[in-house]
Amino acid sequence: MFEFRITHKDGRARCGVLKTVHGTVETPVFMPVGTQGTVKAMTPALLKDIGVRMILGNTYHLYLRPGLEVIKKGGGLHRFISWEGPILTDSGGYQVFSLSVERFRGMKSRVEVTDEGVRFMDHLRGDLHFFTPKNVIEMQLTMGSDIIMPLDHCIPYPSDERLSREALERTLLWLDQSVEAMRDHNDGCVLFGIVQGAFDEALRIEAVERTLERDLPGYAIGGLSVGEPRELMMDFTDLVASLLPQEKPRYLMGVGKPEDIIYAVGRGVDMFDCVVPTRSGRTGTLYTSRGVLNIRHSRFRLDFGPPDPECDCYTCRNFSRAYLRHLFVSEEITSYVLNTIHNLRFYVRLMERVRSSIKEGKFYEFAKVEMEKLRRKV
Ligand SMILES: [Zn+2]
């Protein structure tokens, strides 16, 4: 079962309801990233308590560790990690792309992309693997994801015209093979299309048109956050979102600073994922209603106020900035837990407030005020 329905609109921003076999979520939604089958420093119970309803899993990482055999024998990803809500899994394309731009132990490149798929050396042991559009779908079906992403050819910024064209053609070729691999699977999971087309307007427009020909249940804006300036990322989000059909969910992959989310919601994006709230929590950066705060700072040594006076999370209700600073400086594991609880709650509340403002027809005023706050440092 998969359904998407728009309930409210304010300009281009929209609120909707996304129904999957594993539950219903309101959009715009933020999905925390559970790279290795866990949102780092969190338990499923904590996530639920914070208000998280949907998470993302990384196919590349789960395929390497623990491996699909373990997940299959463990009863599928939901049961194995004990998460009852919807899960979206990515295709591994982005991780493989990341490997291709890194350098590996002095070797030239550890990734080779052909029309057949991607041959790569993993980051753990340097073993060779081959991802094809078909086996990547099979992996996600084995995991039992609610939303499956096809293998796409993601390229860095900047890329020349020839490579941009090649990546688009290959992504579409792979999409057809992915659709084929999904045939005969009616157990409720769905496949989204990914729009590539690099940073070339004409190519992006063509990418949207040709991806839409496949008539899929949802569409992702891909190939962004690959090293381009922020303005370019926003311009291309705007362009692609303006061309996607109203009635289908739109997912902006891997983009998720609060200000980027607010911008993209204003352009009609419904779904987001990003490591920012969890990763920055572990490095001591806290998002608050007064601006961004680095808890490591010595000026918090004797600050016994809550991290964010307006936040209702467990961390803010119980602990002071001075204590969180002490835990962080002492490298205590609890520091990761408490900071992550707060940042995820900040994101969940941000999305709740985004949705309320759309419902009240006041999203753009809300966006202006919030953007201003987010630029501040505490
Ligand atoms: Zn808090």
Provide the pLDDT confidence category of residue 109 given band limits of 50, 70 and 90.
Answer: low
Q: Is 331 helix (H, G, I), strand (E, B) or coil?
A: coil
Percentage of residues of the chain with pLDDT beyond 90: 91
Contact by Cβ (8 Å): 308, 289: yes
Contact by Cβ (8 Å): 221, 273: no
User: What's the Rg (C-alpha) of the chain?
Assistant: 20
Contact by Cβ (8 Å): 107, 49: no
Distance 320 CA to ligand 1 centre (A): 11
Distance 269 CA to ligand 1 centre (A): 26
Distance 147 CA to ligand 1 centre (A): 30
Residue type, 140: Q
Distance 307 CA to ligand 1 centre (A): 6
Q: Where are the domains of the chain?
A: 28-274, 281-365
Average pLDDT, the chain: 95
Distance 219 CA to ligand 1 centre (A): 33
Distance 377 CA to ligand 1 centre (A): 16
Q: Assess whether pLDDT exceeds 90 at residue 95.
A: no
DSSP 184: T
Closest C-alpha to 301, from 286, 272, 275, 323 = 323
Exposed (0-12), middle (13-18) or buried (19+): which is 215, by Cβ within 10 Å? exposed
Provide the pLDDT confidence category of residue 96 given band limits of 50, 70 and 90.
Answer: confident
Provide the pLDDT confidence category of residue 219 given band limits of 50, 70 and 90.
Answer: very high
H or E element that contains 369: helix 363-374
Provide the pLDDT confidence category of residue 80 given band limits of 50, 70 and 90.
Answer: very high
| pTM of the full structure | 0.97
**Tokens standing for residue 217:** 């249940």
Residue with tokens 């987001």: 272
* Distance from C-alpha of 218 to C-alpha of 317, rounded to nearest angstrom: 39
For the chain, the first-to-last Cα distance in angstroms comes to 45
* Distance from C-alpha of 178 to C-alpha of 192, rounded to nearest angstrom: 10
Contacts of 39 (CB under 8 A, 6+ apart): 32, 33, 47, 52, 55, 278, 340, 344
Catalytic site positions: 90, 273
Provide the pLDDT confidence category of residue 107 given band limits of 50, 70 and 90.
Answer: low
* Distance from C-alpha of 46 to C-alpha of 52, rounded to nearest angstrom: 9
Residue with tokens 């539950």: 23
228: left (phi > 0), else alpha (psi -120 to 50), else beta? beta
Contact by Cβ (8 Å): 89, 143: yes
* Distance from C-alpha of 157 to C-alpha of 229, rounded to nearest angstrom: 9
Q: Assess whether pLDDT exceeds 60 at residue 28.
A: yes
Closest C-alpha to 143, from 92, 98, 80 = 80
Cβ count within 10 A of residue 228? 18
Which of these ranges, 48-52, 96-100, 236-240, 304-308, has the smallest mean pLDDT? 96-100
* Distance from C-alpha of 105 to C-alpha of 113, rounded to nearest angstrom: 20
Strand runs labelled E in 144-242: 147-148, 190-191, 193-195, 219-221
Q: How many residues does the chain have?
A: 378
Contacts of 100 (CB under 8 A, 6+ apart): 109, 110, 111, 113, 120, 156
* Distance from C-alpha of 343 to C-alpha of 295, rounded to nearest angstrom: 12
Q: Assess whether pLDDT exceeds 70 at residue 347.
A: yes
Q: Any idea which fold 28-274 has? A: TIM Barrel (3.20.20)
| Angle at 135 (CA atoms; ends 134, 138), nearest 5 degrees | 95
**Tokens standing for residue 343:** 């940042």
